[in-house]
């Protein structure tokens, strides 16, 4: 619906319009920019103190037109309860990460199209991704807020502060309003434990931070050594090597999670928050016995969590389908899901879950819906698909640059793409550019180089690619939203119960 407001020709986004206690709220598009529109009746002007913008009044009330600023986003979350992130509990859920800040409208549409029964997280980004894209926790929260408001989503949302490693990470994300905190203790996992012999394992375990674990080596052995645990027919026997390997590999990680959890609870005070534990970014899988040991030790330390991400068998690489034996994965998932039911219940979390289409039915079947899907970079790839359709020259430049950066940027990811297997930028006709996003190697190359692409400086100032990329998507929001909706419905439909 087009209108003229405050001297501007604007188009009100119809799904954003709402009336709460006599206050009218809407989001409007003026060219490529979005504007917040608020109308209050006479006597209600005090509400506008929470907002910034140009206000004009008459006998019918006061109209404020303001920018999509942090102050206005925070004011909206205070006034419209459905925009405030909240814990989602053990319901089937999905996190839809957005590295550009423009994907939420498409994400919301995909959730609607997929059907009822799935709890969404629209604000989701890891600290690592924030640093690589030059965004802050507030940026991530606010961009999702505007997307949810514009699409009129009122069914509740979570907000995932992903892969947090320090108390400072927690504080920054808590201040921005996040409700879901994913603790990543990967730096404290000992990878040598998988291949260490019994003598080496004994030495590692003896050196664990026992005061932080509120434990002793003797008490640990008294609780677990020689014990056989039965979990829904699965037998886990803790002989000496199995116990020592679990403690050596994950003991320091357990201590770190407990420290982070206690800091979060103190800092959050009376605010409702929830915790996820992630040990997925390791070289070797988490065995069922190791999962059981980690979960039981976290429980002993009083940690409460809603989901846990083990390192499953096979390879969960970025932006591509599962690599490995699906029957073996199903057996592995079944064991982990049984443990999660018995020691929780809590959800299993599928990290690097983007585009794992062959895995989704297995995960839903074995977890019985106690599952959280986490996606991130696939939304960036859909942005590049949009670019390929609208500006072939820009896409070619980005792909050529991504190839230059790949060998450096792949270092912090588990990926197996090779430059030699990916087509060169000049080998693809303009009409087939988007086909690069279907080719394994090219897709991973584009996926993991996002940070370099978005932060590369231009000689004349500004950003070489970022400004053009964001400008193009802002000028064609419906094209990007349609691409995202089509892509994400494939992700979400298997999880709808």
State how far the Cα of 375 lies from the Cα of 362, in Å rounded to an integer: 17
Residue spans of beta strands (DSSP E) within 204-319? 227-231, 234-238, 274-278, 307-309
Nearest to 305 by CA among 354, 254, 269: 254
Contact call for residues 497 and 371 (beta carbons, < 8 A): no
| Residue 297 neighbours by CB under 8 Å, 6+ apart | 213, 254
d(CA 329, CA 326): 5
Catalytic residue among 151, 162, 261, 297: 162
C-alpha span between 194 and 305 (Å, rounded): 26
Lookup result for tokens 């986003």 = 73
Cα angle at 17 between 139 and 382, to 5 degrees?
A: 45
Cβ count near 157 (within 10 Å):
24
Per DSSP bridges, beta strands 307-309 and 347-350 are parallel
Locate tokens 């990811």: which residue?
Answer: 413
Q: 393-410 burial, b if ≥16 CB within 10 A, otherwise e?
A: ebbbbbbebbbebbeebb
C-alpha R_g of the chain = 24
Q: Which of 276, 297, 409, 485 is catalytic?
A: 276
Q: Which two tokens stand for residue 113?
A: 């199209």
Distance in angstroms (rounded) separating the CA atoms of residues 244 and 12:
62
CA quadruple 334, 339, 342, 347: dihedral positive or negative?
Answer: negative
Closest CA to 155 of 203, 86, 106, 79: 86
DSSP 3-state of 64: strand
162 is catalytic: yes
Inter-residue contact 478 to 466 (CB < 8 Å): no
Let me know if 276 is a catalytic residue. Answer: yes
Give catalytic residues, as residue numbers. Answer: 162, 276
């Amino acid at each position: 619906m087009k209108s003229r407001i405050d001297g501007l020709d604007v188009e009100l986004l119809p799904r954003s319009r709402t009336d709460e206690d006599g206050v009218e709220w809407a989001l409007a598009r003026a060219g490529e920019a979005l504007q917040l529109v608020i109308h209050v009746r006479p006597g209600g002007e005090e509400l506008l103190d929470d907002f910034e913008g140009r206000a004009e009044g008459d006998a019918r009330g006061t109209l404020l037109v303001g920018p999509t600023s942090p102050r206005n986003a925070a004011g909206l979350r205070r006034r419209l309860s459905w925009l405030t992130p909240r814990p989602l509990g053990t319901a089937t859920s999905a996190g839809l990460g957005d590295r550009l800040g423009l994907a939420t409208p498409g994400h919301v549409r995909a959730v609607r199209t997929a059907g009822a029964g799935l709890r969404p997280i629209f604000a989701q980004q890891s600290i690592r991704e924030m640093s690589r894209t030059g965004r802050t926790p507030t940026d991530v929260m606010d961009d999702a807020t505007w997307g949810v408001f514009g699409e009129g989503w009122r069914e509740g949302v979570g907000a995932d502060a992903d892969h947090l490693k320090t108390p400072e990470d927690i504080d920054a994300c808590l201040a921005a309003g996040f409700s879901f905190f994913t603790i990543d203790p990967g730096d404290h996992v000992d990878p040598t434990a998988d291949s260490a012999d019994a003598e080496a394992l004994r030495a590692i375990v003896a050196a664990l931070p026992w005061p932080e674990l509120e434990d002793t080596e003797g008490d640990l052995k008294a609780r677990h050594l020689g014990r056989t645990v039965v979990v829904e027919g699965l037998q886990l026997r803790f002989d000496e090597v199995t116990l020592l390997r679990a403690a050596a590999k994950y003991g320091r990680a357990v201590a770190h999670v407990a420290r982070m959890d206690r800091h979060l609870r103190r800092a959050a005070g009376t605010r409702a928050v929830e915790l996820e534990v992630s040990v997925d970014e390791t070289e070797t899988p988490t065995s069922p016995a190791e999962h059981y040991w980690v979960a039981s030790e976290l429980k002993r330390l009083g940690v409460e969590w809603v989901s846990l991400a083990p390192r499953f068998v096979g390879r969960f690489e970025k932006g591509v389908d599962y690599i490995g034996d699906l029957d073996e994965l199903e057996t592995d998932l079944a064991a982990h899901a049984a443990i999660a039911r018995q020691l929780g219940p809590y959800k299993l979390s599928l990290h690097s879950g983007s585009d794992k289409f062959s895995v989704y039915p297995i995960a839903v079947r074995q977890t019985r819906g106690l599952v959280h899907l986490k996606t991130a970079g696939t939304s960036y790839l859909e942005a590049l698909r949009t670019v390929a359709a609208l500006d072939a020259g820009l896409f070619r430049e980005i792909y050529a640059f991504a190839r230059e950066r790949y060998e450096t940027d792949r270092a912090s990811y588990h990926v197996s793409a090779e430059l030699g297997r990916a087509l060169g930028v000049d080998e693809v006709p303009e009409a087939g550019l988007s086909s690069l996003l279907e080719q394994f190697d090219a897709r991973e190359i584009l996926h993991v180089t996002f940070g370099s692409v978005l932060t590369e400086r231009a000689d004349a100032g500004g950003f070489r690619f970022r400004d053009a990329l964001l400008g193009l998507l802002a000028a064609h929001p419906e094209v990007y939203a349609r691409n995202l909706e089509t892509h994400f419905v494939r992700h979400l439909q298997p999880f709808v119960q």
